[in-house]
A and B are shown apart, each in its own frame.
Chain A
Amino acid sequence: MLQNMKIGVRLLVGFGMVVFLLVIAGGLAIQKIGTVHSLQQTFFDHPFTVVHALGETHIHVIKMHRSMQDALLADNAMDRETAIRIIDESENAAIKDLKQVEERFLGDKLLVTEIMKDLDTWKNDRVKTIDLLREGKREQAVQMNKILSAGIIARVEKELDEMEEFAFARANTLADNSREIRDQTIRLTSILLLVAVALAVAITLVITRSITRPLSKAVEMADRLAVGDITAEIGATSKDEVGQLLQSMEKMLNQFKTMSEIAQQIAAGNLGGGVAAQSEKDVLGNALTAMVVSLKDSAAVAEQIAAGNLSVTIIPQSEKDVMGNALAAMVISLRGITSEIIEGVNVLAASSSEIMASSTQVASGATETATSVSETTSTVEEVKQTAQVSSQKARTVADTAQKAVQVAQAGRCSVEESIAGMARIQGQVEAIAESIVQLSEQSQAIGEIIATVNDLAEQSNLLAVNAAIEAAKAGEQGKGFAVVAQEVKNLAEQSKDATAQVRTILNDIQKATNTAVLATEQGNQAVEEGVRQSKEAGEAIRQMGESIDESAQTAIQIAASSQQQLTGMDQVALAMVNIRQASEQNVIGVRQVEQTVQGLHDLGQRLKGLVSRYKV
């Protein structure tokens, strides 16, 4: 049923139901709010006002009582009169409040009348008391006040309390009623709102589903059509707007199917199939017809080109006529390519002749190369032997250099020993010089001793002369003594001669010593020179050793290099053998090339014949 309704009708029905429910809920809520308001008004008019007025009355009664006390205690007339005036004002205010209470009080109004009566009684008593005061009878007045006022005030307060209690009870009742109505209202309104929301959701779901399901089917169909899929089938449809849309799409599909069959025939190359446009506005049908005509024209042109007629002219229908333009470009391009091919074939024929001549030359060159390579191989063999010899020599040189290094080290050691020996010689020469100096000093001492001996001989001589003189003086008795004196004198002279000889010898010794001192000095210098020279020699030998070390290193490197060279030469020899084989193969290859070139030349001649068929 729902399927066959129009979409607009469906939406109206659903929204109408939801609105109806909302109206019911709103009306109920407004009615309940009115009830609550009236209750509240009652509450305000009666219990609240009455309680307030009773409280005020109570305050005024207390104030009157206090002012009465003030009047009784007042010292002067002015204070007393002020207090009496306050009493009257308070009484007026109390009566005014009580009248309001009487008007609004919902309970027994007799209570109010009684309070009024009590207040009147109190007033009369007060007037009497005040009169007594004014007359100056204070004590009587105080007494009277005590007796009269106490009872009245107690009664009034009691009555006031009773009324207040009643008013409070009334207020509580009203408040309970109000709360109950509020709870009722909230419950009812909530239920109604929930029902309305649930109904709205249900209606929305139903309507949405009834619209979206056929619509999504239509969308799916349209998507498939858009990608060119026309195999889809559309089944039974509803009578609403979506159903009409699906029927139209079915018609369109059928049309597409017909067109596609025709297009497939054209694609298969069958241009004879009849294409009938359904109406003048059938753009697709008209286009297909035009396409068939155009394709037939193009086919005719292509047949001419296939027959080798490249001079045909093609005029494209428009700038956007891709096929026509392409055919025109193809003809022009074929024309250019064919011309070039003709030229190329001519060049190819000429070139192949030249290549044939060249390859003959190459063949003879390869033969010569093979011969040269053979010679080179034998030369390399000789060079390899030379390298072997040089490598052996280099090794020998390296060994010799090693020996030279050892010899240089030995030489260095010897020089160091000789330096040490020279130092020892220096020390010994110095010792000799010292000994000679000592000898010289000792010969000096000997000289002094000789001088002493000479002196002694001289004195002995003198003694002898004196003895002779004394002997002469003694006369005949001294003759023997004279002989002794003569002998002593002889001895003294012999001593003198001996000392003279010793002195001569000593002089010789001193001369020899001086010579020796000089000689040792020279020897010392010579030794120093020797030390210096041997140090220089040591340094020279050390440098020589370093040089020899370097030479040895170099010789070892040379030996290694020549070894590498030998290896390299081996490789070169091997490579030369390979090259020789390669060049022999080369010769064979060149012969084959010659034959191939002969074939190429023949091909060029044939191509020339073929190309001459094209009309450019």
Chain B
Amino acid sequence: MSEIMASGDDGRQLILRARAAALAREPEQSAAEDERIEIVEFLLADERYAIESSYVREVYPLKDLTPLPCTPPFVLGVINLRGKILSVIDLRTIFDLPDRGLSDLNKVVVLDDGTMGFGVLADTIIAARWIPRNALLPSLPTLTGIRAEYLMGVTEERLVVLDGGRILSDRGILVHEEVR
């Protein structure tokens, strides 16, 4: 309101028209129900990633991280999530992303498919939203190895959608080491 009050009559007219245009826009719900997937979008090392929300149990702030010795570098440590011990992994190490720039790394996206569960480290949780399935483009040919393996697709907005089921079922992530 103050914005409106501050502007002159012309400004007021412009703002009111913009709002009217926004309200008059067609909702994207025209696409079929099964054609849509819900994703949880998050930032990691200045890149936007998303995971299908059916694999996401919840998001949680990273608190009381306990580092674990004798683990591979991608295992950051364990946290206590309401009485349940949950391991936290760092996708940057797995994806060979550079460690440059400041990152908050204070959020955890908790993945769970009923058999397997762990937390994935994130800088910021952006939102949970719906995207049409056909908006997903096939993965880039430049991506190889494990990155190509975990990738579900990339949207036009350069949103990298990860395949939660594959990450959860990947045997490479399991850790079994003995220390003598």
* Chain A residues engaging chain B, CB cutoff 8 angstroms: 458-459, 461-462, 465-466, 468-470, 472-473, 485, 489
Contact B125 A461 (CB under 8 A): yes
In the A-B complex, the 10 residue pairs with the smallest Cβ-Cβ separation, listed nearest first, are A468-B128, A472-B38, A466-B58, A465-B128, A465-B59, A465-B125, A469-B53, A462-B59, A472-B53, A469-B128
* Interface: B138 (CB within 8 A): no
Contact A462 B107 (CB under 8 A): yes
In whole angstroms, how far apart are the Cα atoms of A489 and B57 in the complex?
A: 18
Q: Which residues of B contact A462 (CB under 8 A)?
A: 59-61, 107, 125
In whole angstroms, how far apart are the Cα atoms of A462 and B61 in the complex?
A: 8
Q: Which residues of B contact A489 (CB under 8 A)?
A: 127
* Interface: B154 (CB within 8 A): no
Q: Which residues of A contact B61 (CB under 8 A)?
A: 458-459, 462
Contact B127 A468 (CB under 8 A): yes
Q: Which residues of A contact B127 (CB under 8 A)?
A: 465, 468, 489
Do most interface residues of chain A lie in helix, strand or loop, or is the interface mixed? helix
Chain B window 143-167, contacts with chain A (Cβ cutoff 8 Å), 1 for yes, 0 for no: 0000000000000000000000000
Tell me how far the C-beta of B122 lies from the nearest C-beta in chain A, rounded to whole angstroms.
11
* Interface: B76 (CB within 8 A): no
Tell me how far the C-beta of B129 lies from the nearest C-beta in chain A, rounded to whole angstroms.
8
Q: Which residues of B contact A459 (CB under 8 A)?
A: 61
In whole angstroms, how far apart are the Cα atoms of A489 and B40 in the complex?
A: 13
Contact A469 B40 (CB under 8 A): yes
Closest chain B residue, CB of each to CB of A468: B128
Q: Which residues of A contact B56 (CB under 8 A)?
A: 469
Q: Which residues of B contact A485 (CB under 8 A)?
A: 128
Contact B53 A466 (CB under 8 A): no
Q: Which residues of B contact A466 (CB under 8 A)?
A: 58-59
Tell me how far the C-beta of A54 lies from the nearest C-beta in chain B, rounded to whole angstroms.
179
29 contacts between A and B (CB under 8 A): A458-B61, A459-B61, A461-B125, A462-B60, A462-B61, A462-B107, A462-B125, A465-B40, A465-B125, A465-B127, A465-B128, A466-B58, A466-B59, A468-B38, A468-B53, A468-B128, A469-B38, A469-B40, A469-B53, A469-B57, A469-B59, A469-B128, A472-B38, A472-B53, A472-B54, A472-B128, A473-B54, A485-B128, A489-B127
Closest chain B residue, CB of each to CB of A467: B128
In whole angstroms, how far apart are the Cα atoms of A227 and B107 in the complex?
A: 173
In whole angstroms, how far apart are the Cα atoms of A458 and B58 in the complex?
A: 15
Chain B window 27-62, contacts with chain A (Cβ cutoff 8 Å), 1 for yes, 0 for no: 000000000001010000000000001101111110
Q: Which residues of B contact A472 (CB under 8 A)?
A: 38, 53-54, 128
Closest chain A residue, CB of each to CB of B128: A468
In whole angstroms, how far apart are the Cα atoms of A466 and B59 in the complex?
A: 6
Tell me how far the C-beta of B47 lies from the nearest C-beta in chain A, rounded to whole angstroms.
18
Closest chain A residue, CB of each to CB of B56: A469
Tell me how far the C-beta of A175 lies from the nearest C-beta in chain B, rounded to whole angstroms.
176
In whole angstroms, how far apart are the Cα atoms of A473 and B59 in the complex?
A: 14
Q: Which residues of A contact B129 (CB under 8 A)?
A: 468
In whole angstroms, how far apart are the Cα atoms of A241 and B60 in the complex?
A: 193
In whole angstroms, how far apart are the Cα atoms of A42 and B84 in the complex?
A: 192
Q: Which residues of A contact B54 (CB under 8 A)?
A: 472-473
Give B52-107 interface residues, CB cut-off 8 Å to A: 53-54, 56-61, 107
Tell me how far the C-beta of B28 lies from the nearest C-beta in chain A, rounded to whole angstroms.
14
Closest chain B residue, CB of each to CB of A472: B38
Q: Which residues of A contact B60 (CB under 8 A)?
A: 462
In whole angstroms, how far apart are the Cα atoms of A461 and B106 in the complex?
A: 13
In whole angstroms, how far apart are the Cα atoms of A469 and B58 in the complex?
A: 7
Tell me how far the C-beta of A198 lies from the nearest C-beta in chain B, rounded to whole angstroms.
177
Tell me how far the C-beta of A457 lies from the nearest C-beta in chain B, rounded to whole angstroms.
12
Tell me how far the C-beta of A395 lies from the nearest C-beta in chain B, rounded to whole angstroms.
81
In whole angstroms, how far apart are the Cα atoms of A466 and B128 in the complex?
A: 8
Chain B window 115-144, contacts with chain A (Cβ cutoff 8 Å), 1 for yes, 0 for no: 000000000010111000000000000000
With a 10 A CB-CB cut-off, give which of A459, A468, A473 has the most chain B CB atoms.
A468
Q: Which residues of A contact B53 (CB under 8 A)?
A: 468-469, 472-473
Tell me how far the C-beta of B115 lies from the nearest C-beta in chain A, rounded to whole angstroms.
18
Q: Which residues of A contact B125 (CB under 8 A)?
A: 461-462, 465
In whole angstroms, how far apart are the Cα atoms of A461 and B59 in the complex?
A: 10
With a 10 A CB-CB cut-off, give which of A465, A470, A485, A489 has the most chain B CB atoms.
A465
With a 10 A CB-CB cut-off, give which of B40, B127, B129 has the most chain A CB atoms.
B127
Closest chain B residue, CB of each to CB of A476: B33
Q: Which residues of A contact B38 (CB under 8 A)?
A: 468-469, 472
